């Protein structure tokens, strides 16, 4: 056994053998390390598998992150600089606009009548010095102007030669072009046709801004005025102040109310971004004592008074940290001009353009925007802001621009000359050749990249990250849609809330204490905007908390509460020593609450009069104060109930702006849309942007063929186009809405059917969606392009848009060339013809019963009579049966 198996006692190694074994350990360290790892794995067992999986995932995430961080090209040697040039008025034409510009520096050379128009051209890849070309009248193209804009404003015309401007700054030796801008008072709705000041001492204020990029060199105020002939010249005067600093005063000494004018010089240092021009008049018609209520104490500042500015436009380095400037300037005195370069229309361009326009509408709020479309970048004019959306394949013009990313074979390359993936968005700021037009490029190598780049700009939180000339959007987190009834700037959805829970529309901050001072103090105005689907019942109330100062006259002083100018409650101010934190419970009438709109105001007016009457009309009233406290509380009895279709609800954006990110709204245009179709789409997107506030924009847009069936069924739809190419023709039939547009210029209704020659009117019509009774379809249509243009103007202009009501609007005009600023330019006829209506409500059973009784009140007397007869018959039958039982 010992021979067969050997000895069981191990043999001791010799010294040489031990040395050789030690050498083997040193020669094979990897083997032993591997053996150690195997033993460790056996010991740890399943736990090692978990740790290994987590390590693999972590390694993969790091690899993915490295893959997504692409190599950028070398930084450009020069930052693109936008060089705005001052425009000059058209030749042989006197500007008729209330705001004009003219050159007062070196004039351009004489115009060559036979020369082609000079237009901004793209910046080439290799720097070349452009040759100056003669100028001519700018080309007229289709455009749309939203909000208020100067009528007949001359389009900016390029100068034939401009001075050289350095990249970042200008030196004192450079002669920048100087221009003059005239701003007339009648552009302000405060002025209108007259600016009247009454009484012994009266003030009036007019606000104006200084556009970014303006260096004011000189400014003046030309005041044209007219005053009462009863004023005493030695005791009556007019003073002009700018931002609280007086710039001059004149006596009111005109005879027989003759028109006078005075020119006041405004120091350039006084002009800020936001400015107040204050006109103060002191008027006396008696040497001893003038009656402040005397009707002869008046002075009028005429609406053709004006502010005159001399300025130098400064070069503007383009940087995404300033976006949306210079494409949109909040301080601009003119309409911001946005021009889209039109490619072959597809869904990618439609969605990106509509979302960008909606985001600009939110940024603009009440400020004007003029939107245009061009097919060639050569058609751009000075003063335009160009936007190019699409891949290099759909926008070949990108190859001709000076971009930091090379484009080869319709592919955008990174710093390693490798094509970017299709899901990477690319944003670039550049200019045309001479820097006269800034260009925003929203692109990528695929539709997903273009959509991601556009979405980056419409989300406020992500937009703040932008800087530099170019941005690669690698990843973008989707912002979830807000709740349907979460509307910023509207009343809280809770039935009980405080004044501090209401947010201001300007900055979204909660309301704090609001104080007023003086005998003629303006009322405290609070935006009181219920949600469009709110319906109020009896029992709503307001618990006002207020304070007032001492020395008020308790016999004539009071606090009043008004709702849209209607008095709903008040109380006397009874304490001569003032009072703190007083309470006043005010009932909010249901009939008034249900008439509130998106512009409604709740006013708290302090009627403060001093204890001692003033002498000779001079009243010392600055010690009189009134304060509204933020713990003022509201209790509202309301329910969610609204009936559709109703175009009046469109004034607040409902139902298209629910939720506020517009994710439930889709716009549909024809398969081959015209410029009018696309501009109408942009106008409606901009309008929804002005009416909504959210952290994202998710409105969609499609052509007729590409509209997904699920979107058609689940979304509110806006169909745009003339009748021949209307995307949803069933919406224009008489059966769908009681009014229809037919072939051969026919109009149909329940009562008549006619044909017109021609039909230049427009139609705005809302119906319940045939695919989903919870959704609506808005039709913006006409028989001709001219009629659709009028519909677009109605959507764009506040003065017309906020007149919409009922379910159908017919737009017509007796003028061939209508002016969008003429209040009589269009005629609107409102119809209620919808055969199908739908009430969307979320109420209790008792509320539904009350709603049924309200809607069918005409049958209520007959129903009561029928029930009474039924009860009478039952009672008689019961009594007869009782009598029969007794007789037996």
DSSP secondary structure string, 617-679?
A: TB---TT-EEEE-TT-EEE--EEEEEEES-GGGGGGTTTTTSSTT-TTEEEEE-SS--HHHHH
Q: What are the pLDDT digits (tens) for 482-522?
A: 999 999 989 999 999 999 999 887 777 888 999 999 888 89
Calpha distance 240→247 (Å, rounded): 6
Q: Which CATH number does 341-473 carry?
A: 3.30.379.10
String of b and e for 456-467 (b: at least 16 CB within 10 Å)? bbbbeebeeebe
Q: How many CB atoms lie within 10 A of CB 155?
A: 18
Gyration radius from the chain CA atoms: 37
Mean pLDDT in residue range 750-755: 81
Using alpha carbons, list the distances in angstroms from residue 156 to 97, 132, 182, 799.
13, 17, 14, 27
Phi, psi (deg, nearest 5) at residue 23: -65, -40
Calpha distance 293→299 (Å, rounded): 14
Whether 343 shows a pLDDT value over 70: the answer reads yes
* Selected residue with higher pLDDT from 14 and 585: 585
- CB-based contacts of 689, cutoff 8 Å, min separation 6: 357, 358, 359, 360, 361, 362, 364, 697
**Nearest residue to 281 (alpha-carbon basis) of 317, 239, 309, 310:** 239
Phi, psi (deg, nearest 5) at residue 541: -150, 165
Domain with residues 496-641, CATH architecture: Sandwich (2.60)
Give the model's confidence band at 9: pLDDT under 50 very low, under 70 low, under 90 confident, else very high: very low
3-state secondary structure labels for all residues of 469-526: CEEEECCCCCCCCCCCCCCCCCCCCCCEEEHHHCECCCCCCECCCEEEECCCCCCEEE
**Nearest residue to 408 (alpha-carbon basis) of 69, 125, 72:** 125
User: Looking at 20-29, 217-226, 766-775, which range is the least confident one?
Assistant: 20-29
**Nearest residue to 188 (alpha-carbon basis) of 150, 226, 154, 155:** 150
Calpha distance 661→659 (Å, rounded): 6
Average pLDDT in the chain: 82
Whether 163 shows a pLDDT value over 80: the answer reads no
* Selected residue with higher pLDDT from 217 and 130: 217
Q: What are the pLDDT digits (tens) for 617-631?
A: 566 778 899 999 999
**Nearest residue to 191 (alpha-carbon basis) of 205, 178, 211:** 205
3-state secondary structure of 294: coil
Q: Is 127 exposed, middle or buried (0-12, 13-18, 19+ CB in 10 A)?
A: exposed
Q: How many CB atoms lie within 10 A of CB 765?
A: 27
Sign of the dihedral defined by the CA atoms of residues 706, 711, 713, 718, in that order: negative
* Selected residue with higher pLDDT from 588 and 615: 588
Contact call for residues 817 and 656 (beta carbons, < 8 A): no
Calpha distance 180→175 (Å, rounded): 16
If residue 845 lies in a helix (H) or strand (E), which one and from where to where?
helix 845-855
Using alpha carbons, list the distances in angstroms from residue 13 to 19, 20, 94, 562.
10, 10, 116, 109
Mean pLDDT in residue range 583-597: 94
String of b and e for 824-848 (b: at least 16 CB within 10 Å)? ebbeeeebebbeeebeeeebeeebe
- CB-based contacts of 663, cutoff 8 Å, min separation 6: 481, 698, 699
User: Kind of pairing, strands 700-703 and 534-536?
Assistant: unpaired
Contact call for residues 683 and 674 (beta carbons, < 8 A): no
Q: What are the pLDDT digits (tens) for 531-569?
A: 999 999 899 999 999 999 999 999 999 999 999 999 999
| Residue 125 confidence (pLDDT) | 45
Give the model's confidence band at 39: pLDDT under 50 very low, under 70 low, under 90 confident, else very high: low
Mean pLDDT in residue range 84-106: 47
Query: Residue for token digits 């094979």?
Result: 28
User: Looking at 58-72, 280-294, 340-354, 843-857, which range is the least confident one?
Assistant: 58-72
| Residue 618 confidence (pLDDT) | 64
Crossing angle (nearest 10°) for helices 29-44 and 46-68: 110
Q: Which CATH number fits domain 81-106+139-161+173-316: 2.40.30.10, 2.60.120.260, 3.40.50.300, 1.20.1260.10?
A: 2.60.120.260
Q: What are the pLDDT digits (tens) for 689-722?
A: 999 999 999 999 999 999 999 999 999 999 999 9
- CB-based contacts of 94, cutoff 8 Å, min separation 6: none
- The CB-side HSE value for 153 (13 A sphere, CA atoms) comes to 26
Helices (H), 404-463: 447-458, 460-463
Give the model's confidence band at 221: pLDDT under 50 very low, under 70 low, under 90 confident, else very high: very high
* Selected residue with higher pLDDT from 431 and 754: 431
Calpha distance 472→69 (Å, rounded): 9
Calpha distance 445→679 (Å, rounded): 26
| Residue 149 confidence (pLDDT) | 36
Mean pLDDT in residue range 815-831: 79
pTM of the model: 0.81
Whether 887 shows a pLDDT value over 80: the answer reads no
Look up residue 74 and give its two tokens. 């070398």
């Amino acid at each position: 056994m010992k021979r067969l198996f050997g000895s069981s006692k191990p043999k001791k190694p010799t010294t040489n053998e031990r040395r050789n074994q030690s050498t083997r350990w040193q020669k094979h360290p990897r083997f032993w390390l591997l053996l150690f790892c195997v033993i460790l794995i056996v010991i740890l067992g399943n736990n090692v598998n978990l740790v290994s999986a987590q390590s693999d995932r972590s390694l993969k995430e790091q690899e993915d992150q490295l893959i997504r961080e692409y190599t950028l090209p070398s930084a450009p040697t020069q930052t693109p600089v936008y060089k705005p040039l001052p425009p000059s008025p058209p030749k042989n034409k006197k500007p008729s606009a209330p705001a004009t510009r003219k050159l007062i520096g070196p004039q351009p050379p004489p115009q060559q009548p036979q020369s082609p128009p000079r237009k901004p051209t793209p910046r080439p890849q290799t720097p070349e010095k452009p040759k100056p070309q003669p100028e001519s009248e700018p080309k007229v193209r289709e455009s749309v102007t939203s909000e208020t804009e100067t009528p007949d404003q001359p389009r900016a015309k390029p100068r034939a030669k401009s001075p050289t401007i350095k990249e970042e700054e200008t030196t004192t030796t450079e002669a920048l072009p100087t221009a003059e801008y005239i701003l007339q008072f009648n552009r302000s709705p405060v002025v209108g046709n007259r600016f009247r000041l009454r009484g012994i001492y009266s003030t009036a204020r007019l606000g104006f801004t200084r556009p970014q990029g303006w260096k004011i060199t000189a400014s003046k105020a030309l005041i044209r005025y007219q005053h009462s002939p009863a004023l005493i010249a030695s005791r009556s005067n007019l003073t002009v102040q700018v931002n609280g600093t007086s710039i001059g005063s004149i006596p009111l000494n005109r005879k027989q109310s003759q028109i006078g004018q005075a020119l006041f010089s405004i120091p350039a240092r006084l002009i800020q971004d936001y400015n107040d021009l204050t006109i103060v008049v002191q008027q006396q018609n008696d040497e001893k004592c003038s009656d402040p209520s005397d009707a002869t104490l008046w002075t009028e500042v005429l609406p053709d008074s004006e502010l005159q500015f001399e300025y130098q436009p400064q070069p503007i380095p383009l940087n995404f940290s300033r976006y949306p400037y210079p494409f949109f300037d909040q301080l601009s005195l003119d309409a911001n001009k946005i021009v889209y370069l039109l490619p072959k229309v597809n869904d990618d361009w439609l969605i990106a353009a509509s979302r960008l326009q909606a985001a600009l509408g939110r940024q603009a709020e009440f400020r004007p925007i003029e939107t245009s479309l061009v097919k060639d970048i050569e058609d751009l004019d000075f003063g335009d802001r160009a936007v190019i959306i699409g891949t290099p394949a759909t926008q070949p013009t990108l190859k001709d621009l000076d971009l930091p990313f090379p484009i080869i074979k319709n592919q955008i390359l990174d710093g390693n000359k490798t094509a970017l993936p299709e899901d990477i968005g690319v944003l670039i700021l550049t200019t045309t050749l001479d820097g006269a037009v800034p260009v925003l490029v929203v692109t990528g190598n695929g539709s997903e990249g273009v959509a991601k780049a556009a979405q980056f700009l419409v989300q406020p939180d992500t937009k703040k990250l932008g800087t530099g000339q170019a941005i690669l959007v690698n990843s973008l987190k989707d912002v979830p849609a807000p709740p349907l009834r979460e509307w910023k700037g509207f009343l809280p959805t809770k039935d009980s809330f405080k004044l501090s829970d209401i947010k201001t529309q300007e900055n979204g901050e909660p309301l704090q204490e609001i104080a007023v001072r003086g005998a003629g103090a303006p009322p405290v105005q609070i935006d009181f905007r219920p949600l469009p689907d709110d319906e109020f019942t009896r029992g709503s109330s307001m618990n006002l908390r207020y304070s007032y100062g001492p020395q008020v006259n308790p016999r004539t002083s009071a606090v009043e509460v008004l709702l849209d100018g209607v008095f709903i409650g008040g109380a006397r101010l009874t304490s001569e020593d003032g009072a703190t934190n007083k309470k006043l419970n005010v009932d909010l009438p249901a009939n008034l609450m249900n008439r509130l709109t998106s512009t409604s105001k709740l006013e708290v007016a302090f009627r403060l009069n001093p204890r001692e009457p003033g002498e000779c009309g001079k009243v010392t009233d600055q010690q009189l104060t009134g304060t509204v406290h933020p713990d003022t509380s509201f209790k509202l009895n309301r329910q969610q109930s609204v009936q559709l279709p109703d175009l009046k609800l469109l004034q607040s954006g409902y139902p298209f702006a629910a939720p506020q990110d517009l994710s439930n709204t889709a716009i549909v245009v024809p398969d081959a849309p015209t410029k009018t179709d696309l501009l109408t789409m942009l106008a409606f997107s901009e309008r929804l942007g002005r009416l909504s506030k959210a952290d994202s924009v998710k409105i969609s847009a499609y052509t007729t063929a590409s509209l997904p069936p699920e979107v058609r069924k689940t979304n509110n739809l806006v169909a745009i186009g003339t009748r021949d190419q209307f995307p949803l023709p069933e919406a224009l039939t008489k059966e769908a809405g009681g009014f229809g547009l037919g072939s051969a210029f026919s109009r149909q209704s329940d009562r008549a059917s006619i044909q017109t020659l021609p039909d230049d009117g427009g139609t705005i019509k809302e119906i319940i969606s045939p695919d989903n009774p919870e959704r609506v379809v808005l039709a913006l249509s006409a028989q001709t392009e001219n009629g659709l243009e009028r519909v677009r103007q109605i959507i764009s202009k506040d003065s017309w848009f906020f007149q919409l009501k009922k379910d159908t609007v017919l737009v017509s005009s007796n003028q061939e060339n209508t002016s969008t600023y003429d209040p009589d330019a269009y005629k609107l006829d409102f119809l209620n013809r919808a055969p199908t209506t739908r009430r969307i409500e979320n109420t209790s059973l008792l509320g539904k019963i009350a709603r049924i009784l309200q809607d069918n009140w005409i049958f209520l007397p007959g129903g009561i009579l029928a029930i009474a007869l039924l009860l009478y018959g039952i009672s008689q039958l019961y009594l007869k049966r009782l009598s029969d039982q007794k007789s037996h």
